[in-house]
Chain A
């Protein structure tokens, strides 16, 4: 960067911004086609949201690491309170509700809790003396952190969110150096508990989702319809796709949720596996960026937050893509930066903003002078 570009602008983390612009731009292209060649109702809003949130992210990136550390616990408690409020509103209103309408925007506390859970876990491990990592002290506070919000979202009922919290917490704990035996144990526990949860914990529609994932052909017109149509869209796209604007599955509405959860199938129908590999490549770059930031961070909090948030983004990508290609059950999780939808875009951009802030402020090693 020479003198042509002003220093503050040149100092922006352009690498990741380009990656995001590519993802959002490609997403907008797909949404434009899905709307039959129209910016409304999806593509225009998608870009607009990104631009606004990008401003927010750049402001966030200016914040020092200490700032995030200091607001972690208050944020966590605030969201916990909001979850209770949502629950009460649902109780009063007679029916489950997941969001609070603030007039300008609607806030979905269970969604915002996903990155905050990572922050909280990192905050905890930062404060935990290294020598205590093998002790019981390292475990029970984590359990408490996870249990409260999980219990609140499960009542809603939103299992997906609870799983996401556990995932975020688990990743941070893993990175923080918790003994591997815990993870083996957790794996074994899931293997034992999964059938129990399936039979006693899940509502019938949730049981259906699992069953249908296992054999979508059994119910091609019912609940297996999503997966079947998604596979048809991807499969019929072939290597190079049917061409921009030529996707019949999305245009004739055979593919449900073609602009949100199944946007990848909409894309693959028109752009083929070439388009799919392009998106996978962009995600690869994004993940590499996030983990590099984590490795280069000098503080424990920064390391854990950057790695944890990167994995939170990855969690979305993984669940969504595995679902779309028929390797995971249908879950209402959108594809980051590509799917249309404000809530998830906000969460993803919050993650990116905090990682950017860590990239800008890698800090100094403990015991070194800053």
Chain B
């Protein structure tokens, strides 16, 4: 190395100068890189970063739209919105879960059922989906949470609106209820509105099916916020557009009365306008209270509803299917008249009818009866005899024309349409021939035939007016209904039979309307739940084996306006359980004071009105262990 090169300090000086120049070049290059990069960010991407800075700075709070109201045919409120204060938890922002919930429970005096529900919902919640802590709060409690907000990350107190159903449980099945958007619903449609605290969607009934009309357009509140979420000042605010109100054909006063009048029974009342098809009342009890359901469903509440053998989750008017029993005799009558049977033809009733070696029993020994008397007395023998003569394939089309076995385009989440059997149906369904004993069963509304209270009400309304009315729940102008295919003479025979049931010597004479000039015509029905075994005729024993009580009716007899059906599950008899309710409900239409008086007397014996009875029941259940409710109670 020494031989190759002798380095002097002069050479090193030269090296230094060269290398210093190189270093300054590197420095300049890095400086230019920074300048170029900065220019790129600030000029080329300026728009993008401006937007990002703005979205940092501005917190867009969605104002959930107020839901459209439900009003009745006279404009009376069925579902409204109540201004209130509410508190929610945003799970993603929550840091200390246990402590936060506990603090809230103390501040808001939450019940253990509520705390339990909040924990459960938090476990299942996803990200920014809010979990409701409480709504309907007064200002003091709301303020108590608001001032402690810095210590409670993830808690969102808001002023907003909550759904209010003045009628409570009475409209639960009709209107449904609202609730927070479920995780699945949010997965399907990731609109930010859906996870805005306080925003709820319809979960059942009309609330669910009319969601689009009711929802409205959200507003937006813009605020300037710091990185920690502290609000610096309010910017512009766009108000929400409330959803459109929906007017129903329901007369809410009558509906509420019917629901209350059902009392402790499990049953339903449907009242139609005979001339238009408007559904004036469709009550199904017992029912959950949509007000408390809309707050989220608690463990105790769920147990209370779930352990009830009266099935409070089922809309019995549309989804309950029952053998119609003798309420179907007017239908059979119309079919017989169409087949040319003389209504004055007498059939001898000796308490039964022999088919082969089997005797089909009648409820009594009616002696010689014609058609009107047969309807009045509900004589099975007459209908067995003539029904067998004309055959059921001639009766089924009449039942269908009157609405049985039919589904109607109504905005309800589900309706069941039952069965009107005939020989073709039986062959298709059971691969068996139709027998004469099938006819005998079907003609008195037993056996294969099943129908919903809604259909029975519509059937009666159609018989009463003779018009092919279509059921309607939404108030709107419609074309006048066309007449049915039955001649007036035929209808008059059947109507007269029904008139005699109540006003003659029939099965429901004790349910005559308490008016001089207004009368009601009807038909009782008692439907067996299981085969008559020995002495037990479904009139005693365990509740769930007792006969159903049915009653269909229309009024006034001379100028029919209202057609109705009342079905009381396991009520043991139409005359006994259903007809008195129908009588009171129709009385309410013409004389409210008188109807209310009889209701209040009854309620005194039942332990209060619906609300009071449910509160008492809730208090009872509160002290019992209860498993948690499912995520979607209606699934």
Contacts and interface: CB of A to CB of B under 8 A. Distances in A.
A234 B23 contact: no
Contact of B7 (A130, A300, A318): A130
B94 to A, nearest CB: 15
Nearest to A256: B227
Nearest to B52: A232
A238 B56 contact: no
Given A131-B7, A322-B34, A287 B46 contact: no
A253 interface: yes
Helix, strand, loop or mixed for chain B's interface?
helix
A4 interface: no
Contacts of A134: 1, 5, 7
Nearest to B41: A235
A90 interface: no
Contacts of A316: none
B31 A252 contact: no
B42 A232 contact: no
Nearest to A325: B37
B27 A238 contact: no
A249 to B, nearest CB: 6
Interface stretch (B13-21, B79-87, B188-196): B13-21
Nearest to B45: A235
A234 B24 contact: no
B24 A288 contact: yes
Interface in A304-327: 304, 307, 311, 314, 318, 321-322, 325-327
A280 B34 contact: yes
A282 to B, nearest CB: 11
A327 B7 contact: no
With a 10 A CB-CB cut-off, give which of B9, B11, B53 has the most chain A CB atoms: B53
A300 B10 CA distance: 10
A84 interface: no
A303 interface: yes
A161 interface: no
B49 A174 contact: no
Instruction: Identify whether the interface residues of A are mostly helix, strand, loop, or mixed.
Output: helix
Interface stretch (A10-18, A58-66, A268-276): A268-276
A175 interface: yes
A233 interface: yes
Contacts of A249: 53, 56
A299 to B, nearest CB: 10
A292 B587 CA distance: 110
Contacts of B20: 175, 291, 294-295, 307
A229 B46 CA distance: 14
Interface residues of B, number: 46
Given A174-B19, A175-B16, A280-B35, A235 B46 contact: yes
A322 B54 CA distance: 25
Given A130-B9, A252-B226, A325 B34 contact: yes
B12 A176 contact: yes
A13 B62 CA distance: 61
Contacts of B363: none
B6 interface: yes
Contacts of A307: 16, 20, 23
Given A133-B7, A235-B50, A238-B42, A177 B226 contact: no
Given A171-B23, A248-B57, A130 B34 contact: no
Nearest to A366: B9
Nearest to B32: A280
Interface in B501-552: none
A131 B6 contact: yes
Which residue among B13, B17, B43 has the maximum number of chain A CB atoms within 10 Å of its CB?
Answer: B13
Contacts of B16: 175-177, 303-304, 307
B232 interface: yes
A300 B1 contact: no
A143 B43 CA distance: 46
Contact of A234 (B5, B6, B17, B49): B49
B1 to A, nearest CB: 6
Interface in B362-383: none
Interface in B140-195: none
B49 A327 contact: no
Given A249-B56, A287-B24, A291-B24, A130 B11 contact: yes
B39 interface: yes
B322 to A, nearest CB: 59
A135 B49 contact: no
Q: Which of B33, B34, B37: most chain A CB closer than 10 A? A: B34
A249 B49 CA distance: 11
B223 to A, nearest CB: 11
A252 B224 contact: yes
Contact of A326 (B37, B43, B224): B37
Nearest to A284: B31
Contacts of B31: 280, 283-284
A26 to B, nearest CB: 16
A368 to B, nearest CB: 12
Interface string A198-237: 0000000000000000000000000000000101111111
Nearest to A230: B41
Contacts of B41: 231, 234-235, 325-326
A82 interface: no
B56 A254 contact: yes
B21 to A, nearest CB: 9
B228 interface: yes
Nearest to A240: B42
A233 B50 CA distance: 8
Contacts of B226: 252-254
A175 B19 contact: yes
Contacts of A234: 38, 41-42, 49
A166 to B, nearest CB: 16
Contacts of A182: none
Contacts of A229: 56
Nearest to B31: A280
A315 to B, nearest CB: 10
Contact of A252 (B37, B45, B49, B57): B57
B2 interface: yes
A187 to B, nearest CB: 13
B196 to A, nearest CB: 21
Interface string A108-138: 0000000000000000000000110111000
B96 interface: no
A53 interface: no
With a 10 A CB-CB cut-off, give which of B2, B31, B39, B225 has the most chain A CB atoms. Answer: B31
Contacts of A318: 27, 30
Contact of A254 (B37, B38, B49, B227): B227
Contacts of A91: none
B12 A130 contact: yes
A339 to B, nearest CB: 16
A89 B54 CA distance: 47
A19 interface: no
A238 B50 contact: yes
A304 B33 CA distance: 26
A314 B224 CA distance: 39
A331 interface: no
Given A252-B57, A288-B24, A307-B20, A236 B37 contact: no
B624 interface: no
Contacts of A135: 1
Contacts of B224: 248, 252
Given A130-B11, A235-B46, 16 more contacts: A133-B7, A134-B7, A176-B16, A177-B16, A232-B49, A232-B52, A234-B49, A238-B43, A238-B46, A248-B56, A253-B227, A254-B53, A287-B27, A300-B12, A307-B23, A321-B34
19 contacts: A130-B8, A130-B12, A131-B6, A131-B8, A174-B19, A174-B23, A175-B19, A232-B49, A238-B46, A254-B53, A254-B227, A273-B39, A280-B31, A280-B34, A287-B27, A300-B12, A318-B27, A322-B34, A327-B34
- Those 8 A-B pairs whose CB atoms lie nearest each other, nearest first: A235-B49, A236-B53, A177-B15, A253-B227, A235-B41, A248-B57, A252-B226, A236-B49
